[in-house]
Amino acid sequence: MEKKFETVLLHPVKVNEKSIKSKVTPIYQTSAFVFKDLEELEGYYQGEGNYLYSRTGNPNPDELGAAVAAIEGAPAGIATSSGLSAILAGVLAVVKSGEHIIAAEDLYGGSFHLLKEELHNLGIETTFVSFTDLAEVEKSIQENTKMLYTESITNPLLRVEDLHGVVQLAKKHHLLTLIDNTFATPFHCNPYELGVDLVVHSATKYIGGHSDVTAGVLVGRDELIAKARAKVVNLGANVSPFEAWLTSRGLKTLALRMKCQSQNAQQLAEALNRNPNIEKVYYPFAESHTGYGAMVTIKLGTQVDTSAFFKSLSWVKIAPTLAGVETTVSHPLTTSHRALPKEVCDELGITMEVVRISVGIEHPDDIIQVFTEALEKALK
Ligand SMILES: *Cc1c(COP(=O)(O)O)cnc(C)c1O
């Protein structure tokens, strides 16, 4: 009997996938994969490759994880639904209830909450300390300490971490290290090659680079990434195929973007450094031969009205994120660091006058001009 209308609708003639040679990996926008018989299904469980179910594995996230691992110089990587879920998977892969983490006090706000609230409730304690003095970090090490966790370049004051020192300290006490490399990117810094165990990225930022995805990546040695993969699968922290695909596409231009954005940032930082309406420019001027990153943080002079400054920025938008190809600004005190106690913000130097600039790929003359003009317009 011929199939009826409804059935034909659902079982169309498929294109012959074997004869198609797509130049880029297609988007495997599917929740599951099919098997021709029980033997093939059993083969999956015997590790003969292929895919089963997208939460447990899908070619687009796999490609993204492997691509970031390759540029970080690490053997393995896994892509996740966000930077935070990559951090969560990395922590849970190696730290159990009853164990202890030492983290930098100036960690990204979301990461701070993850440790302070969620992981605390799961029985994992964190001591937050300043990493500017590693002797202080060493003093915080306890019997049950398992991990040191900090960022290669911190947010928003762009402090460059002494990763050699952190790795040495960890090795001395048999601790693991987790480094958030989001701000520096693998273009400027490769923590894994310096001996760090796990490197994490909010791929939402420079890895994706176009402000159109939320994703994360964790890289490290095979054994640790296998453990993290189990966490991602069990927690359902997988990234969607489409977002992974978009992120992989963005990643291809990382070097071009970082070269341009870092050069623009350096020029802007130099210009603002000479500007009398700026009290301080936070920019790691002399840290690396590949440039110094594309974030510039400034402290406005007392003669500048902060609110008027934000209103005067013409084409530069206020956005509570960073790393896109367009230049944007954010106000750390009232966004990313809003939940931090006021004393901590004061102590860190995150005040009302602090403005974080994510420098884009526009022409540097225009970028410098828009900030210079806004400073003049916002004079009290
Ligand atoms: C944005 C960010 C995160 C969190 O990433 P999401 O993708 O928003 O989950 C973690 N660390 C740093 C340094 C970030 O900038």
As to burial, measured by CB atoms within 10 angstroms (0-12 exposed, 13-18 middle, 19+ buried), residue 288 is: middle
Residues with CB under 6 A from ligand 1: 82-84, 108, 110-111, 151, 155, 180, 182-183, 202, 204-205, 214, 216
Q: Cβ(291)–Cβ(266) under 8 Å?
A: yes
Look at residue 64 and tell me whether its pLDDT is greater than 90: yes
Task: Provide the pLDDT for residue 15.
Answer: 82
Task: Provide the pLDDT for residue 88.
Answer: 98
- For the segment 160-195, what is each residue's pLDDT rounded down to a tens digit? 999 999 999 999 999 999 999 999 999 999 999 999
* Cα–ligand 1 centroid distance for 298 (angstroms): 21
Q: Under DSSP, is residue 77 helix (H, G, I), strand (E, B) or coil?
A: strand
Read off the pLDDT of each residue in 293-321 and give the average, rounded to a whole number: 96
Shortest-distance atom of ligand 1 to CA 151: 13
Question: CA-to-CA distance for 190 and 127, rounded, in angstroms?
Answer: 26
> How do beta strands 198-202 and 176-180 pair?
parallel
Look at residue 343 and tell me whether its pLDDT is greater than 90: no
Q: Torsions phi, psi of 153, nearest 5? A: -130, 125
Look at residue 90 and tell me whether its pLDDT is greater than 60: yes
* Cα–ligand 1 centroid distance for 193 (angstroms): 22
Task: Provide the pLDDT for residue 290.
Answer: 60
Please provide the average confidence, as pLDDT, over all residues in the chain: 94
* CATH class of the domain comprising 254-377: alpha beta
Look at residue 17 and tell me whether its pLDDT is greater than 90: no
- What sign results for the dihedral spanned by CA atoms 112, 113, 119, 125? positive
Q: Boundaries of CATH 3.40.640.10 in the chain?
A: 5-251
Q: Cβ(189)–Cβ(161) under 8 Å?
A: no
Read off the pLDDT of each residue in 38-51 and give the average, rounded to a whole number: 91
- Which CATH architecture is the domain 5-251 placed in? 3-Layer(aba) Sandwich (3.40)
- For the segment 249-273, what is each residue's pLDDT rounded down to a tens digit? 999 999 999 999 999 999 999 999 9
Q: Boundaries of CATH 3.90.1150.10 in the chain?
A: 254-377
Look at residue 220 and tell me whether its pLDDT is greater than 60: yes
Question: CA-to-CA distance for 170 and 91, rounded, in angstroms?
Answer: 15
Quick one: what percent of the chain has pLDDT higher than 90?
84
Look at residue 145 and tell me whether its pLDDT is greater than 80: yes
